[in-house]
Chain A
């Protein structure tokens, strides 16, 4: 069965510094990988996805993610963090032809001014 792990409950970073939010996955077949962001009292919003092709995927709000098949990872990155990036970030996976999106436990990102 497919699964997603986000090893960090919380990530703290200073504004202007680069940020990384980690995600590893386990899936049979080719993975479809996603990142979503949740702001307080809001639903999840899509950031980016990896289906196939270039291992570096660019998404909304300056975020990008790097797919690494050998390490089964899909880490979310941003070169320069903003205070407004503070939110809860979810990694998610669907396997090819699957019907379910499985979410990780979420990582809370705090960006300090």
Chain B
């Protein structure tokens, strides 16, 4: 199926650990994003890559590092996890970022719980 898929769906870990979330899209899109949704459902952009180039890097702790090995993949690595990192992380993609009018296609999210 054509989709934005992210793994794992659930991630439970201890404070201080390092973890990664993977995202893949087979829609042929140029641009991929990471969004964080907190417990109040507020959605905030973290990063965006266009053709493997970082174009958005919001005020995010440098413990968070995105990596885009190719246009179809955008992974998120988090070092030294903290309690406040607990949230749902969404990957998204869009056909092109330059025009601004393209809709986003979202993955189903990764629920991260830091204990």
Contact = CB atoms under 8 A, between A and B. Distances in A.
Interface of A: 32, 34, 36, 38, 41-46, 49, 51, 88, 90, 94-103, 105-106
B41 A105 contact: yes
Interface string B91-104: 01000011111011
A99 B90 contact: no
Contact of A49 (B4, B41, B101): B101
A97 B41 contact: no
Contact of A34 (B4, B45, B103, B105): B103
Interface of B: 4, 40-45, 48, 50, 55-56, 90, 92, 97-101, 103-109
19 contacts: A32-B100, A36-B104, A38-B41, A41-B108, A42-B109, A43-B92, A44-B43, A44-B104, A44-B106, A46-B105, A49-B103, A51-B101, A99-B48, A99-B55, A99-B100, A100-B45, A101-B45, A102-B45, A103-B44
Contacts, number: 60
A47 B100 CA distance: 17
A44 B35 CA distance: 11
Interface centre among A43, A90, A98, A106 (most CB of B within 10 A): A43
A99 B47 CA distance: 11
B42 A105 contact: yes
B81 to A, nearest CB: 22
Contacts of A90: 43
Contact of A106 (B42, B45, B56, B103): B42
B113 to A, nearest CB: 14
Given A43-B90, A43-B109, A100 B42 contact: no
Contacts of B48: 99-100
B100 A44 contact: no
A103 B101 contact: no
B39 to A, nearest CB: 12
Contacts of A41: 108-109
B108 A88 contact: no
